Structure 1
Amino acid sequence: MNSKFEQPNIVLDGNIPEPSANPSDNRHFADIIQARFSRRAMLQGSLGVAAVGFLGGTLAACGGDSSSRRRKASLGFEAIPAGRDDAIVVPEGYTARAFLPWGTPILGSMPAYMEDGSNTGADQAEQMGSHHDGIHYFPIDGSSDHGLLVMNHEYVDKKVIHAAGPSARPRPLDEVRKEMNAHGVSVVEIQKGANGEWEMLNNGQNRRITAFTEMEITGPARGSELLVTAFSPNATRTRGTLNNCGSGFTPWGTYLISEENWAGYFHPDASIDPVPRELARYSVSGWQGNFWYDAQEGGIVTSDDNFSRFLTAATGADASEDFRNEPNNFGWLVEFDPFDPNSVPKKRTAMGRFAHEGVVPVPAVVGKPVVFYSGDDSTNEYIYKYVSNANYEEGMTGDDLLDDGTLYVARFNDDGTGEWLALDFDDVDFQADMSESPIKFTSQADVLVNTRSAADMRGATPMDRPEWGAVNPVTNEVYFTLTNNSGRQYADEANPRVLNRTGHIIRWNEDGEPAATTFSWDIFVFGGRDKLHLRGYVPGTGTFLTEENFFASPDGLLYDDSGILWIQTDMSGGQQDGSSADGDFGNNQMLAAIPETGEIKRFLVGPMDCEVTGVVLTPDHKTMFINIQHPGDRSEPGNFTSHWPSGVAGARPRSSTVVITKDDGGVIGL
């Protein structure tokens, strides 16, 4: 979900973007928008009226709730201006404090963070990881003052994490170990002190999951020949999780890790021709990224396959003697129990393999299937839904519900309706489509390892980088950010932007139950600030975005039970510093919206060169946790463009969680 993936010609941190790997000619969402709405409806501000009509009025009247916080008439704070301070800015009456920055010791020998960057790889395994992202608060005994804070660590900035940046090849092995240990997940027990400030506890609950952690493979792809490696010849185990972006949670109290842009960590064997689709369709072939930890990038010559496995050469007699299939062990959703420090994470293959931006649960109902949504964060990729085959009952776990279900992919129709297309090898329609397609599959494991190809074959709608989603906890209405697609070449009467560089948010209602296979959709808001080109527009209200709410590249989302939709941005460097043709948006930010009225206000602006990502509230809604990722991501060793959170001149920038409270002790946002 990084800004570096938005602009093909702009690389902010040395990482090379994943190229579009979708060869299908499926209808693009832009084409559907053109057919869906007329120019007159857009320009007269009546687009939203038409949308409410075809959705049966549910967007304007979402139903009631017994919660006293639910569906207030307006947001209870004054919008803050955009800006470029190297600090967190929140509205008057709120306080924001940095908490648990990268390098904070949380377990083991509690090695102190070294400002000079000299911490070792072993130190990093016992410290907070780098590049905080998706986050969730698990209350202990229902408490809003005591719980587990669990968060993803998406990637690392080599120019910041090491004392003087990465060494020249051959790199010391411990540099690579440090980078791998900075990935993954942190679990931290926290409690609000008597002074009202949160503190970390060290009672044996804290944990780090990294690129080394052993994991179990479950679901239909368990045992598949496509997942066989020298580490696990029977394809039941693997090691590590990478590039963990948005996160999710389950009704039975576990945490879900997403694996997003994992493809660039591998260096494929260039002699393989043709490249297998399970590599090529995910850009493992030819995406010469700089995060793999193999001999090609790191200059590492080692017999330790913890490192050499990222060089995916076919060196053995078969896949059980090498790591040609190692990339197939990534791209999954991973579940673990945060309350059990010894629990083995499980890669849930029934939920599909792609660049998972996150995973979004629908509130569970006893006697009904569990439903989760996930976006594939790459240009021209798809939105997916997983529906369990079993109905949810108290006491069930992921072993009951996440290994046996149906994965669907979305097709958005011109008339505002949509279909969920089953990616099920035994489905009659799947078999019918396959009989007419050059794309073939041999089993459900094959379908799931090659989820993108299966979605191509079924005729899913390519989207503009589907990222985070959020579900209205009362109505089950779903919102999804489409961050941008700067490579999209189109101009149509209903959406007259030559390039979708500023993104938009789509929403839909399932036709009946969340497990339904049809839905109705519209657009909630277009990002941007240029009225002439309708870049920033709220269709449901007929109004444009203003100084108090313009934004671009929407990314993170949370729909809380106060009725507020929290929107976070991941704008490129050019959009932040004003050099982009899209306009000057200032630093990345978080906004609050009440979708029923279209009210949107800017609530937070982050420090220099950061991404604002990940948001969760305590049950009483009086504490908000958000993450600030890669502040100063245009830094060079010793020349940092941000010094947040310390604010000390020359200090190394550190990704960090931020704790936000209301000075009067009230509910956040109201």
Structure 2
Amino acid sequence: MAAKRPVFPEYDPDDVSSNASGNRSFGEVVQQRMSRRTALMGGTAAAAGFLAATGLGTGTAVARTPAAGGDGGWEGGVRPRRLLGFDPVPTSTADEFTVPDGYETQVLIPWGTPIRPGGPAWHKDASDSAADQAEQIGMNHDGMHFFPLGNGREGSRRGLLVLNHEYVDQELLFPDGAEEITAEKVEKALAAHGVSVVEIEQRRGGTWHVVNSRRARRVTGTTPVAFSGPVRADHPALASANEPMGTLNNCSSGATPWGTYLTCEENWNNYFGTEEAGWEPTPAQERYGVSASGGGFRWHEADSRFDLAANPGEINRFGWIVEIDPKDPGAKPVKRTALGRFKHEGCTVTESRGRVVAYSGDDQDGDYIYKFVGQGSWRVQRALGRSPLDHGTLYVARFEDDGSGSWLPLEHGTGALTAENGFADQADVLLRTREAADALGATKMDRPEWIAVNPRNGDVYCTLTNGSGWDSAVHPRTPNPYGHIVRWTEEGGNHAATSFAWDIFVLAGDPAHDPQVELDASNIFGSPDGIAFDGDGRLWIQTDVSNSSQNLAEKGYENIGNNQMLAADPRSGEIRRFLTGPRGSEISGVTFTPDQRTMFVNVQHPGESTTVWGTPTPEDPRVVSNWPDFDPEGRPRSATVVIRRTDGGVIGA
């Protein structure tokens, strides 16, 4: 008799697929791959030897302990050093930020904080002007990176904190909400987007403070920008009524070996719309989810820059990875077009035999995973005055049934990417990256998000938040409301290789709804999003459960609580919950000082509208949350949280 399949709650997606191609989904691949699990474990499949050699297994991560026996059950009889040295915190539905015993927190740079001491103070009724906001920390903190200033101990006490601001909640940004959109409101919203650069230092007692700095600046939706690579600013597709300016919907980020910051434009299509009767998106626009109504911001009603009919080329200036030099406040941000145009969730940069390699996920249900491989040594490129991110090859991933995979080059003239098939040149391939990947037969994924590279062995991990799913008798599942994490090893340990071996690291979810899930009260989670390694090889996992599903039994999230961050030991598969966030928030963005004794974590959109807790209004913006100020006349604010051990030790150890 066949095993009873789990019954899942109706899936309420955060994002709807715009991929109408016939390419295979990752679910179809997983179904066939995992149905051959016994063969793989027996070593008879073609990829089994490769998987064993790389250390990738066929199961999911769980909390493991050594088996009984004289050697303790550890490989070679040697017990590895434990990476996780804290007691897991329980799940929470409280409006608070919770960390393990032995840790302390400090709220730093909430939305509206002046980027320099003495700058315009934040008004708790949200009456700050656009000019004020342009000198304050933006809204909805996301990806970030700490750039140390100084060597040794000094570099862990002083540095530049650079962080993204993904979007704005217009009900909280304006005193009277968003019922009416005006030019002044659009100006303020643009100023609340983008990137903040602040200089911070640790003072006596361990607390961190913003200090006056010539490097402090805001990069917003109106900052002048440059274009570099195959798609130049003068490309006809980028023709617009205004000069190139701004970066929008800055999600996750990356840092380069030469000390620059990469900010990634994700759901940029949401800001554009039109009221012109009869306007219809082109096939290329439709593939990116562009529509007349946009994503509800309605900026086109007050600013023709965002009107698809009046200014059609402006939208093509978004969807890129933007490079910012945090130490040079006069340097213009540069959109590096060789890395492709799509909904970049992040950009994780590593090195491989002197070449720069950059991984990026396209965060929409049914879209793809990409990597860019630089041409030759990045040091040589820099010495020649060339950007390593302008010269190289962009690839898209295809996952095969047997646990192998390949990287398909997005090069004009290769395979289907020819003029005969409608791709004029390399610039056209990059402007229409999604369509080019469709044409090559890339594998559809369940919302690929952040990507991280294990510093110990080079394995690559990608969070797949959730998706519309597929019919699979093993796993993943139909639908996939909880998501999972996939990992792969590049052939020969070379990140520039064009083939890899893959497997599932962990299947997220609630075992009460799916017995395949091997998690318990100490580590149950859903919708993995942010992911990062620290220098010791701990894998930090952040979650983004939709506020339409969070804490709801009918969505299968009644036991998971508010969004959270966990730590995993990739060697043993052990996972523990490290922190929980306030109501309505997402945990997004993590970075460390070089000594790993200070962790910075972002809490994004606390107090946002939720099905469980309600919807904030101009009359009562505190319905869902009042974190972190808990001011009876204030409103919730995104913020960075500093986390330290009370004994000054390494975080997580």
| Superposed pair shares fold, TM > 0.5 | yes
1:190 matched to 2:207? The reply is no
Contact 1:312/1:324 (<8 A) preserved: yes
Q: Deviations over 1:105-158 (max 9, x none)?
A: 114961111111111111100000000000100000230000000000001111
Aligned-partner Cα distance in 2 for 1:532–1:545: 12
> Which residue is 1:312 aligned to?
308
Match for residue 26 of structure 2 among 19, 22, 29 = 29
Letter in 2 for 1:504: H
Match for residue 567 of structure 1 among 526, 530, 541 = 541
Letter in 2 for 1:522: D
Aligned-partner Cα distance in 1 for 2:553–2:56: 38
Of 566-575 and 323-332, deviating more is 566-575
1:244 matched to 2:250? The reply is yes
- TM-score, structure 1 as length reference: 0.86
Q: Deviations over 1:568-620 (max 9, x none)?
A: 00002254223333232100000000011000000000011100000011100
> Which residue is 1:3 aligned to?
none
1:337 matched to 2:312? The reply is no
Shift of 1:285: 2.6
- TM-score, structure 2 as length reference: 0.88
SS at match of 2:387: helix
Of 367-376 and 143-152, deviating more is 367-376
Shift of 1:424: 0.4
Pairing 1:557-596 to 2, within 5 Å after superposition? 557-584=531-558, 585-596=560-571
Contact 2:510/2:524 (<8 A) preserved: yes
| Cα gap change, 1:356 to 1:535, in 2 (>3 Å) | farther
Aligned-partner Cα distance in 2 for 1:382–1:501: 18
> Which residue is 1:303 aligned to?
none
Match for residue 508 of structure 1 among 488, 502, 527 = 488
| Structure 1 residues without counterparts, runs of 5 or longer | 1-5, 11-16, 62-69, 233-237, 301-306, 315-322, 537-543
Letter in 1 for 2:195: V
Contact 1:244/1:259 (<8 A) preserved: yes
| Cα gap change, 1:259 to 1:208, in 2 (>3 Å) | same
Match for residue 203 of structure 1 among 183, 204, 213 = 213
Letter in 2 for 1:470: A
Aligned-partner Cα distance in 2 for 1:443–1:40: 43
Letter in 1 for 2:582: P
1:127 matched to 2:136? The reply is yes
SS at match of 1:289: coil
1:371 matched to 2:357? The reply is yes
> Which residue is 2:81 aligned to?
72
SS at match of 1:263: helix
Please tell me the root mean square deviation across aligned C-alpha atoms, in Å: 2.6
Aligned-partner Cα distance in 2 for 1:260–1:7: 26
Aligned-partner Cα distance in 1 for 2:565–2:210: 25
Q: Deviations over 1:305-341 (max 9, x none)?
A: xx32100225xxxxxxxx2111100000000100011
Match for residue 659 of structure 1 among 615, 637, 642 = 642
Letter in 2 for 1:245: C
Contact 1:60/1:596 (<8 A) preserved: no
SS at match of 1:607: coil
> Which residue is 1:324 aligned to?
312
| Cα gap change, 1:257 to 1:292, in 2 (>3 Å) | farther
SS at match of 2:270: helix
Aligned-partner Cα distance in 1 for 2:47–2:606: 39
Shift of 1:381: 0.3
| Structure 2 residues without counterparts, runs of 5 or longer | 1-8, 58-78, 610-615
SS at match of 2:451: strand
> Which residue is 2:617 aligned to?
636
> Which residue is 2:371 aligned to?
385
Shift of 1:559: 1.1
Letter in 1 for 2:562: N
Contact 1:277/1:450 (<8 A) preserved: no
Letter in 2 for 1:157: D
SS at match of 1:123: helix
> Which residue is 1:455 aligned to?
437
Shift of 1:183: 0.2
Contact 1:51/1:522 (<8 A) preserved: no
| Cα gap change, 1:535 to 1:211, in 2 (>3 Å) | farther
Letter in 2 for 1:324: P
Match for residue 157 of structure 1 among 165, 169, 172 = 169
Shift of 1:52: 7.2
Aligned-partner Cα distance in 2 for 1:230–1:188: 32
Letter in 2 for 1:346: V
Q: Deviations over 1:222-256 (max 9, x none)?
A: 13221122335xxxxx1100000000010000000
What percentage of aligned pairs have identical amino acids? 47
| Cα gap change, 1:631 to 1:45, in 2 (>3 Å) | farther
SS at match of 1:577: coil
SS at match of 2:358: strand
Match for residue 473 of structure 2 among 477, 493, 497 = 493
Pairing 1:129-144 to 2, within 5 Å after superposition? 129-142=138-151, 143-144=155-156
Shift of 1:178: 1.1
Contact 1:611/1:628 (<8 A) preserved: yes
Letter in 2 for 1:214: P
| Cα gap change, 1:522 to 1:83, in 2 (>3 Å) | same
1:282 matched to 2:288? The reply is yes
Aligned-partner Cα distance in 2 for 1:40–1:663: 45
SS at match of 2:532: strand
| Cα gap change, 1:286 to 1:494, in 2 (>3 Å) | farther
Aligned-partner Cα distance in 2 for 1:45–1:669: 33
Pairing 1:465-614 to 2, within 5 Å after superposition? 465-485=447-467, 487-488=468-469, 490-495=470-475, 497-512=477-492, 513-530=494-511, 533-534=514-515, 536=517, 544-584=518-558, 585-614=560-589
SS at match of 1:141: coil
SS at match of 1:176: helix
| Cα gap change, 1:81 to 1:127, in 2 (>3 Å) | same
> Which residue is 2:427 aligned to?
445
> Which residue is 2:628 aligned to?
645
1:419 matched to 2:406? The reply is yes
| Cα gap change, 1:596 to 1:185, in 2 (>3 Å) | same
Aligned-partner Cα distance in 1 for 2:444–2:326: 35
SS at match of 2:82: coil
Shift of 1:86: 1.0
Contact 2:510/2:557 (<8 A) preserved: yes
Count of aligned pairs: 608
> Which residue is 2:53 aligned to?
57
Aligned-partner Cα distance in 1 for 2:107–2:298: 31
Q: Deviations over 1:264-314 (max 9, x none)?
A: 10014756776333312111135532124122xxxx2xxxxxx32100225
Aligned-partner Cα distance in 1 for 2:109–2:218: 13
Contact 1:481/1:556 (<8 A) preserved: yes
| Cα gap change, 1:650 to 1:137, in 2 (>3 Å) | same
Match for residue 267 of structure 1 among 269, 273, 278 = 273
Letter in 1 for 2:104: T
Aligned-partner Cα distance in 2 for 1:100–1:379: 33
Shift of 1:74: 4.0
Aligned-partner Cα distance in 1 for 2:643–2:52: 38
